[in-house]
Structure 1
Amino acid sequence: MLKKNHFILLFSIVFCNYIFANDGYKLWLEYSYIKSESLRKDYLKTIGKLVPSGHSETINIGLEELKRGFGSMLGSEFLSSNKNTKNTLVFGSKANLDKDVLIQLGNAFNEINEEGFIIKSVAFKGKNHIIITGKTDVGVLYGVYNFLRLLQTNQSIEKLHIIDSPKINLRVLNHWDNLDRTVERGYAGFSIWDWHRLPDYLDPRYTDYARANASIGLNGTVLNNVNANAIILTPQYLEKVEALANIFRPYGIKVYLTARFSAPIEIGGLETADPLDYNVINWWKEKTKEIYQRIPDFGGFLVKANSEGQPGPQNYDRNHVDGANMLANALEPFGGIVMWRAFVYSEHDASDRAKQAYTEFVPYDGQFKDNVIIQVKNGAIDFQPREPFHPMFGAMPKTPLMMEFQITQEYLGFSTHSIFLPKLYEETLHADTYRKGKGSTVAKDIDGSLDGKRLTGIAGVSNIGNDINWTGNSLLQANWYGFGRLAWNPYLSAETIADEWLKQTFSNNETFIKPIKQMMLDSREAVVNYMTPLGLHHIMDTGHHYGPGPWVSNLSRPEWNPVYYHKADSLGIGFDRTPTGSNATAQYAPEVANVFNDLKSIPEQDLLWFHHVPWDYKLKNGKTLWNGMALKYQEGVDQVASMIKTWDKMENYVDVERFNNIKMLLNIQYKEAKWWRDACLLYFQQFSGMPLPEDVEKPTQTLDYFQSLKFPFAPGN
């Protein structure tokens, strides 16, 4: 029989473990209790009573979010401290604020757009007030989440004067989710959309999804895969889409659908989908009207056309302008937009896959309707660990271009590998197109400031699934968060984003923050090093893109084979895209092309992307290309080993559940980093004929072994 003190001890152990368990479901909206008594008192004194102005569903959501956040971060003291305070926190849109409050704000509303917000400390009539406002209720909600972020990151809330607006109009998640709940390139379980039980069963997770997106300023979601199924446009499924739209609306989130170009044939009974055919044009107009009757704020269509076997206007000897403008005409009366993807490549183009999108789209600059935006991947191939920026950016001054980043890690080790992608996003956004001289960055192209474009957008291919922690790996929540923050402001630094996310998600303890932030910031380069150093690209295994496969050469289309991209032979390695090769560099501005063409000036991180280089070529550090490449692979492995050591020291700062989740995944990443190093170096060594440098660990398996590995059930394929 247990003695009383034994029972108490046992209860304490169980209770404490329960308290410190955390499944990661709350994402960055943890609202953890603020342990510093002095800080809590400062916050309690400054906030005062909550005074909502207006009673819309969105304002009510803001009120509940403030109550949830304050109750959790400040505890029961928040409720009791409000009884006698003279201070207030007033929040509401401009139209609902008292005249006295508006006077205090002066001309601040002139500095924000329709989604912007103002957070300001003011004093009048003997009282102190914090005002959270905007021109719209959704702007107020964004302000509420921003204010809560200040508390979560332990910042001062005295003398506030924050005026902020999103720099990009369309800030959208693309879900590559299928109607059977599988997710193409999804690594965190099945789709969160339970199509079978919609519209009558509304999973609370849909609301939590909307909360998370609104908290980082995302305002759109494409519900279905770019490899679309036309059934999504039938009444049976539009009813389900409507149910989701109703949940998302008060959070400022519009729904979009991927439209299959051949839908008029597949669900409309027509014999053609020719965009210039009268019956096809009318079918899309009627279908669009049907959608807007259900969903008045429907965002519009995303289209993948004439790419990877998807139907499109070229099936009927028409062009991208014909297809996009036909849909744009159908959407125009309702304010909807067309996001037309530029991800196109053909087996009939023997020159260079990297050139095709530019070749197909740039000649049509200025011919698309005003409600068409061209969605362009960050690089010209396909979401590689590192790619030079896509040459279409800066090349279409009369056409809005929408950035497409991949948040899910198709080519980056899936959700197993911990990589902080805002470093990749930052690198692309800061790249200089030189379209109007130095400083013409990609960010300025997509936010419209480079050429005065009014329609602007950015999309991220979601890494979300129905795993309890949303992303399969708790650290990868930072990529969803970071994408949202950069969608709001593409000039934010990856370091700022990492700092914010860690403090909101884990702890404000600098002993934890400093090393883990550095680990996150270094992680992207580590992955590049052990997968594709020095400009190598697309050497992943075929189909599922899991693990290395530089030897693959037997696929029916040349540009599907990794050997097409690395072109390793006895003379060297790399894809010559200079004037002596495919001349892809000519698609960039001369200032950029000159840098890429010249072996003396090209950044070595892009070397093999643009040049076929001899194995004994001397790198800037004096090492031969072969030795330098081998050492890069080893460096990547060593960096993951360092990540493991750093994380192991954090056990006292992280709850058991998330600590173990990340620890196990880092160990898998280390194992797979060595796999990448060994398989690639053994394969390329056949061509270089050179020994591995002394500092590179020798493989314990043969090349035949690595080539024999098969993964028929790899996720996301």
Structure 2
Amino acid sequence: MKKLFFVGWFCITMLFSAFASASSIVTGEDGYRLWLKYDQIQNKGILPEYNKLLAQWHVAGNSKTSQLIRDELDYALTGMLPSASQTDMSTANLIVATAKVAQQFSADVAQQLKSVGDEGYVIQQFAYQNRPVVLVAANTDIGALYGTFNLLRLVQTERNLIHVKIASAPKTKVRVLNHWDNPDRHVERGYAGESIWDWHKLPEYKYQKYVDYARANASVGINGTVLNNVNADPIMLTPAYLEKVKALADLFRPYGLKVYLSIKFNSPSSLGGLKNSDPLNPDVRKWWENKAAEIYQLIPDFGGFLVKANSEGQPGPGDYGRSHAQGANMLADALKPHGGIVMWRAFVYANEKNEERSKQAYSEFKPLDGKFRDNVMVQVKNGPIDFQPREPISPLFGATKQTPMMMEFQITMEYLGFSTHFVYLGPMYEEVLKTDTFAKGPGSTVGKVVAGQVHKYPLTGMAGVSNIGSDRNWTGHIILQSNWYVFGRMAWDYQLTAAEVAEEWTRMTLSNDTKVVEKVTDMMMLSHEATVNYMTPLGLHHIMGTGHHYGPGPWVDNLGRADWNPVYYHRATNKGIGFNRSPSGVNAVEQYFSPLKEQLSDPKTTPEKYLLWFHHLPWDYTLPSTGRALWDEIVHRYYLGVEQVEQINTEWNKLQGLIDPLQFKQVQMANVIHLNEAIWWRNACVLYFQSFSQRPIPAGLEKPQGTLQQYKALEFPFAPGQGE
């Protein structure tokens, strides 16, 4: 693989008639290199230090991963420090090694390695035999790879390496991307082109992008990838497709990236010809045992299965009167001899149960605590509904002492403007991970629960639904690369703040210029709150358009079941708005621990950001924070959201000339769409809710353009990313 990285990608040319004549050729950074740009260091103040500590480097070891580290350093340091070169260990200033070699240089490092596990690493600078040395050490080659990427991150962000002393280990064991990619390359809820997996050409034809994908994931500590959609096609388990999966697994292995597959629960009957797929049927159990053995024969380090069962029409154990635990355990037993795991999704809801949707995952899985095998994790969405712009935490976090709850975040922006809205999700992830569940008293945050620090889970994990596609810039929008990045960084360490990761990503991807870093970081940190404001302020939720979830649709009330309709969630009438999940309503608050459930039971103590999630309130209800009536506050929030997007656009435009022109223009063009759609959201929602409140637009705010009828009449039959 040596020297393959991004070869031929440095001088990509693109035509932008928006700022050049039709005959002009514009060159620059088109986003393909992500945050691994490795451009020459321009900061003359820090160059002497880097040349002293990094110019002569050596990587110990002969494994494939060791060679990848060698290649990465050669590629990176040659780009950032043109004088850098590889040398032998006796003269190197930068040394990358595993424990046996590392202990020759430092007893302190050797001691620290005892506490960082198989994936962790130590980076330390010290004097050795009259020369300065930076030692990157780990217990395994994969740990050394992670440590190397962290060192390069420090260099890219121009951090001081003198006396640097870092010991880092992942706080969750399984850190995976979930690709909702289908065999025909359609990506469900994908907004960055087709699937990057070209199943038709695999296994023989392997794109360079597959390798660069593995590098990017390793650089942020992601160690697994689920290759296919949770709405799975059984074809993925056929011999021909398993050979294709093997080809990817072989490419990914040296980067520490395991492959997983989503499976269709009824595969034994639909694929194997059995009479049923009942998990208690011995023939069915045997079929899965044989299938697991077949997979591991091809892919010895195969990670395991992700399962969506008895949800949105998908088959599952409930079809045979069996529990989720019985279904998951059957698969877990088949995988156990090979070291595989089951990630069983908790996204289950069914209208025949006559229970409010936000309560159903808890009702299904809380009684099953302790009944799952030790190689099963239940994968729970961050909130109790469905990846909304903002949700309270799922009450399942902390509720199961024996069953690991695996976090599921959505990186792709199904409900947040697809790939044309400037939305950095770090603040949302941080908000969730730092929320206190009170499962074992104060301090039992979601992050600690997921990391197994509240209950001693045998497995821990975090999953992110991928936003990656075949677009040249990977995610359809330069800024949205940051959401892939921040997911990986927070999956490794949930204690990181969104702001520090935003700054880090900006420095690596856009510029180390102080003005750029400060301005872009501020925009990123504002962007999520802005989106909540112009879409779903004060706890409103699930008011997007039907099916495609594109644009506002709070008026939709004609779908096949109540909880598919936005009117079900906002419940606006001439008397008020909001969903009563308090004790006087459906009592969803009962599923939370005290004192959280008491806090959420009373609108006076409920955080305003969740107010209408838990309470149906009159239009004249006064908000303590502003003294405004509820109607006025809702309208002000919608208008504030648009103002915040305008602010982001204005500040971005001021950076022209300070950011690569192709990066700048891509974001600028998307910003125009973003602002137009924020205004659309504001106008449509304000006009619709005004039809119930019968109150005027507050003084000082312009009247929304257009009519409610015009907004209702809009149709989008070809909106991207719809399910199949």
Partner residue, 1:196: 200
1:113 aligns with 2:86: no
> Structure 2 counterpart of 1:153, which letter?
T
Partner residue, 2:95: 90
> Structure 2 counterpart of 1:232, which letter?
M
Shift of 1:111: 2.0
Give the alignment of 1:655-666 within 5 angstroms: 655-666=660-671
SS at match of 1:100: coil
Q: 1:626 aligns with which of 622, 631, 636?
A: 631
Q: 2:392 aligns with which of 367, 388, 394?
A: 388
Q: Partners of 1:600 and 1:20 in 2: how far apart?
A: 56
Q: Partners of 1:448 and 1:695 in 2: how far apart?
A: 51
Shift of 1:78: 2.3
User: Deviation string for 1:385-435 (max 9, x for gaps)?
Assistant: 000000000100111010000000000010011101011100000011001
Q: Partners of 1:84 and 1:458 in 2: how far apart?
A: 38
Deviates more, 1:463-472 or 1:262-271: 262-271
The answer to whether the Cα contact below 8 Å between 1:448 and 1:456 also exists between their aligned partners in 2 is yes
Q: 2:84 aligns with which of 78, 91, 105?
A: 78
1:84–1:112 CA distance, 2 compared to 1 (3 A): closer
> Structure 2 counterpart of 1:644, which letter?
N
Shift of 1:267: 1.0
SS at match of 1:114: coil
Give the alignment of 1:455-466 within 5 angstroms: 455-466=459-470
Shift of 1:347: 1.6
Deviates more, 1:568-577 or 1:39-48: 39-48
The answer to whether the Cα contact below 8 Å between 2:544 and 2:552 also exists between their aligned partners in 1 is yes
Q: Partners of 1:90 and 1:45 in 2: how far apart?
A: 13
Partner residue, 1:291: 295
1:50 aligns with 2:54: no
Q: Partners of 1:613 and 1:187 in 2: how far apart?
A: 36
Partner residue, 1:8: none
Q: Partners of 2:354 and 2:27 in 1: how far apart?
A: 57
Q: Partners of 1:113 and 1:440 in 2: how far apart?
A: 24
Q: 1:596 aligns with which of 600, 605, 609?
A: 600
Deviates more, 1:127-136 or 1:390-399: 127-136
> Structure 2 counterpart of 1:193, which letter?
W
Q: 1:586 aligns with which of 587, 590, 598?
A: 590
The answer to whether the Cα contact below 8 Å between 2:116 and 2:168 also exists between their aligned partners in 1 is yes
The answer to whether the Cα contact below 8 Å between 1:86 and 1:128 also exists between their aligned partners in 2 is no
The answer to whether the Cα contact below 8 Å between 1:121 and 1:160 also exists between their aligned partners in 2 is yes
User: Deviation string for 1:216-245 (max 9, x for gaps)?
Assistant: 000000000000000000000000000000
Partner residue, 2:641: 636
Q: How many residues align?
A: 700
Partner residue, 2:136: 132
Partner residue, 1:29: 36
SS at match of 2:406: strand
Partner residue, 2:75: 68
Q: Partners of 2:308 and 2:688 in 1: how far apart?
A: 35
Partner residue, 2:676: 671
Shift of 1:498: 0.2
User: Deviation string for 1:322-348 (max 9, x for gaps)?
Assistant: 100000000000010000000000121
User: Deviation string for 1:260-300 (max 9, x for gaps)?
Assistant: 10100111011100000010000000000000000000000
Q: Partners of 2:26 and 2:714 in 1: how far apart?
A: 43
Partner residue, 1:261: 265
1:523 aligns with 2:506: no
Q: 1:697 aligns with which of 699, 702, 708?
A: 702
Deviates more, 1:287-296 or 1:62-71: 62-71
Q: Partners of 2:235 and 2:656 in 1: how far apart?
A: 48
Shift of 1:90: 1.3
Partner residue, 1:3: none
Q: Partners of 1:454 and 1:130 in 2: how far apart?
A: 35
Deviates more, 1:687-696 or 1:44-53: 44-53
1:680–1:99 CA distance, 2 compared to 1 (3 A): closer
Identity over the aligned pairs, expressed in percent? 52
Q: 1:681 aligns with which of 680, 683, 686?
A: 686
SS at match of 2:221: coil
SS at match of 2:464: strand
Q: Partners of 1:464 and 1:361 in 2: how far apart?
A: 31
Q: Partners of 1:479 and 1:625 in 2: how far apart?
A: 33
User: Deviation string for 1:682-715 (max 9, x for gaps)?
Assistant: 1111110101112332122111100000000000
Partner residue, 2:653: 648
Q: Partners of 2:700 and 2:474 in 1: how far apart?
A: 39
The answer to whether the Cα contact below 8 Å between 1:432 and 1:439 also exists between their aligned partners in 2 is yes
Q: Partners of 1:415 and 1:491 in 2: how far apart?
A: 27
1:98–1:603 CA distance, 2 compared to 1 (3 A): closer
Q: Partners of 2:225 and 2:414 in 1: how far apart?
A: 20
The answer to whether the Cα contact below 8 Å between 2:420 and 2:673 also exists between their aligned partners in 1 is yes
SS at match of 1:376: strand
Shift of 1:547: 0.2
Q: Partners of 2:330 and 2:270 in 1: how far apart?
A: 18
Q: Partners of 2:504 and 2:550 in 1: how far apart?
A: 31
Partner residue, 1:275: 279
> Structure 2 counterpart of 1:528, which letter?
V
Higher helix share: 1
Q: Partners of 2:121 and 2:110 in 1: how far apart?
A: 14
Q: Partners of 2:110 and 2:352 in 1: how far apart?
A: 61
What's the C-alpha RMSD, in Å, of the aligned pairs?
Answer: 1.6
Q: 1:174 aligns with which of 163, 172, 178?
A: 178
Q: Partners of 1:375 and 1:681 in 2: how far apart?
A: 36
1:653–1:18 CA distance, 2 compared to 1 (3 A): farther
> What 5-or-longer segments of structure 2 have no aligned partner?
1-19
SS at match of 1:119: strand
1:538–1:93 CA distance, 2 compared to 1 (3 A): same
Q: 1:467 aligns with which of 461, 467, 471?
A: 471
Q: Partners of 2:244 and 2:418 in 1: how far apart?
A: 30
SS at match of 2:402: coil
Partner residue, 1:508: 512
Q: Partners of 1:129 and 1:630 in 2: how far apart?
A: 60
Partner residue, 1:533: 537
Partner residue, 2:17: none
The answer to whether the Cα contact below 8 Å between 1:573 and 1:614 also exists between their aligned partners in 2 is yes
Q: Partners of 1:31 and 1:701 in 2: how far apart?
A: 49
The answer to whether the Cα contact below 8 Å between 1:301 and 1:338 also exists between their aligned partners in 2 is yes
Shift of 1:85: 10
1:101 aligns with 2:108: no
1:215 aligns with 2:219: yes
SS at match of 2:251: helix
Shift of 1:99: 5.3
Partner residue, 1:7: none
> Structure 2 counterpart of 1:283, which letter?
W
Partner residue, 1:324: 328
| Runs of at least 4 residues off by over 3 Å | 17-20, 82-87
Shift of 1:157: 1.2
Shift of 1:106: 4.0
> Structure 1 counterpart of 2:696, which letter?
P
> Structure 2 counterpart of 1:638, which letter?
E
> Structure 1 counterpart of 2:617, which letter?
V
> Structure 1 counterpart of 2:611, which letter?
L
The answer to whether the Cα contact below 8 Å between 1:175 and 1:221 also exists between their aligned partners in 2 is yes
Q: 1:417 aligns with which of 418, 421, 425?
A: 421
Partner residue, 1:478: 482
The answer to whether the Cα contact below 8 Å between 2:56 and 2:85 also exists between their aligned partners in 1 is no
Q: Partners of 1:69 and 1:48 in 2: how far apart?
A: 11
